[in-house]
Amino acid sequence: MYVSLNRRRATAAAFTAALLIPLSACGDGKTDRAAASPSAANSASASSPAQAKAKAANLTVLAASSLTDVFKTAGAAYEKAHPGTKVTFSFAGSQELAAQVKQGAPADALVTADTKTMDGLKAETNAATVIAKNRLVIAAGKANPFKIDELKDLADSKIKLVLAAPEVPVGRYSKQILDAQKIEVKPVSQEPNVRAVLSKVELGEADAGLVYKTDSAKSGDKVVTVDIPDDQNAVASYPAATLKQSKNAEAAAAFVAWLNGPEAQKVLQDAGFQKA
């Protein structure tokens, strides 16, 4: 009787163990992760194209005239790094750009040559970030016949001086540094942007003008660049921001963020802009 009872117990135990083995296998952690992996992979592969599509866009960027050359290079670099995205720039004086924004011009981002103009557009823009800085120089005519080598020389009535209009950032900076040195000048014209000032000097229509260092450097031997000491100079800051009216908010934000990144900063500094 004792032996028979033990056998029945052994048989029951073996039967129970046989039932538990497949259940144990089904509950194995590795098996759970393996089963979840295809689902996770499918989810990742499904979201990637969507994210890429969201970032690709046709962007319109309003930018200060003094950024014309460097932004063409930067835009090409951005498009290469972000396939599917096209960046179109519209260059003008910052005050003109501000007017366009207030009138609802279809654009995605804005970069001005001063913080004052950007600050006046807080209702139309998202938070701004300074991406670069610049300084003023005297651009003198080829060969510099009047031997201009400092700011006070611009007060000579024989010199045909051209400046940007006072509502333009570079015009405002020009007035600031001339007033600080108590230098009175009588410009023959006041232009709508820095490129127009530089063009007048390049063409010989003016003997000198106050422009950004980066613009004068781009002219090569068409003008003579006369540096202005730091203690007599002004620092121009270039803030960038996305526009609230943009229909490509994500792509616009990505571009503005890229402007502060190492690739864009190298392009800007190679062109003579100072680090923000």
What are the respective helix, strand and coil percentages of the chain, to the nearest 5? Answer: 50, 20, 30
| Strand ranges inside 83-234, DSSP E | 86-92, 109-111, 129-141, 161-164, 189-191, 208-212, 223-227
Is the pLDDT reported for residue 147 higher than 70? yes
The one-letter amino acid code at 14 reads A
Q: What is the pLDDT of residue 7?
A: 43
Q: What is the pLDDT of residue 55?
A: 64
Is the pLDDT reported for residue 117 higher than 80? yes
For the stretch 34-65, pLDDT in tens is 333 333 333 333 333 333 444 689 999 999 99
Is the pLDDT reported for residue 70 higher than 80? yes
Across the chain, mean pLDDT equals 85
Higher pLDDT among residues 204 and 25, named by residue: 204
Is the pLDDT reported for residue 8 higher than 80? no
pLDDT class for 118, splitting at 50, 70, 90? very high
Q: What is the pLDDT of residue 31?
A: 34
Q: What is the pLDDT of residue 56?
A: 83
pLDDT class for 30, splitting at 50, 70, 90? very low
CA 196 to chain centre: 23
Higher pLDDT among residues 25 and 183, named by residue: 183
For the stretch 206-256, pLDDT in tens is 999 999 999 999 998 999 999 999 999 999 999 999 999 999 999 999 999
Q: Report all structural domains of the chain as residue ranges with CATH numbers, in order of start.
A: 57-133+237-275 (3.40.190.10), 134-235 (3.40.190.10)
146 Rama sector, left if φ>0, alpha if ψ -120 to 50, beta otherwise: alpha
pTM above 0.75, yes or no: yes
Of the listed ranges 9-13, 120-124, 143-147, the one predicted with least confidence = 9-13
Q: What is the pLDDT of residue 16?
A: 41
